[in-house]
Amino acid sequence: MPSPAPSPGARGYVVPIGGAEDKISDRRILARFVELCGGSEGRVAVLPTASLLPTTGDAYKRVFRELGIADVVVVDVAERKHAEEERWSDALEGVTGIFLTGGNQLRLSTILGGTPIATRIRRMNARGVHVAGTSAGAAFICEHMIAHGASGATPRAGQVALAPGLGLTNRIIIDQHFRERDRLGRLLTALSYNPFSVGFGLDEDTAAFIDPRDHAHVVGSGGITVVDVSQLAYSSMALSEVGDPVELVGVRLHILSNGAAFDLSSRIATPGPHRPADPTA
């Protein structure tokens, strides 16, 4: 469960990003995150734990500085023993935003899971610090994390493996690089294990900015596939052998793009602003 907020509306935004977000031209997702974090008055911590590339942290540090954040710290926790060191936990002091980079989400869960840093991030988010994650970082944000799985549009028994995530929200299960890597089947499979959560399939360069009221606002150039199984009437998961297709009856699906929203409490989708057709097209 997410850490309890001290008062209604105190929680910071939770921002899963589908990966490959624009870092060069309009950078609208990262710019919106910077704005939330206070712009030039903010302080952002970058955690490149998911990545094996030694340049990942510094690359995001440069981007955030270009977008106006003067104070950016790279919290380079590369091994589990580092997550127990007070210096890394102390590095989070005073930050207004935390950014989890892409890479391998199992590195995040196995290195950070159950450590003082993970606990501190959960508590900080409950008290107003905004937390974003891209690609693997997005998957790790949830309580139930998709660790790995096969591609394909049809859900199949055994198609996906779940692992405990950071637990900033228990309302959604996230899959990233969604349309680009054909991941509808594995998201449906994950939801069929226990139809409590809502599935968010995030395309690349697309984010859900989830506010303290649990309203998700879509920002980016792609779409978010929202899979709502709250009205599921039948699932064959319990009867299926590994590799069998899974029957699901009563699934609701929304495709939302920039400017649209989804209320995680009422499960009501709101379309984005109307865009008149281009007469010159």
Residues with catalytic roles = 135, 177, 204
Helix runs in 149-276, H state only: 184-193
Whole-number Å distance between alpha carbons of 107 and 47: 12
Residue 80, phi then psi, degrees to nearest 5: -60, -35
Whole-number Å distance between alpha carbons of 42 and 245: 48
Segment (H or E) for 15: strand 14-17
Residue 249, phi then psi, degrees to nearest 5: -120, 130
Q: How many CB atoms lie within 10 A of CB 270?
A: 14
Residue 171, phi then psi, degrees to nearest 5: -90, -20
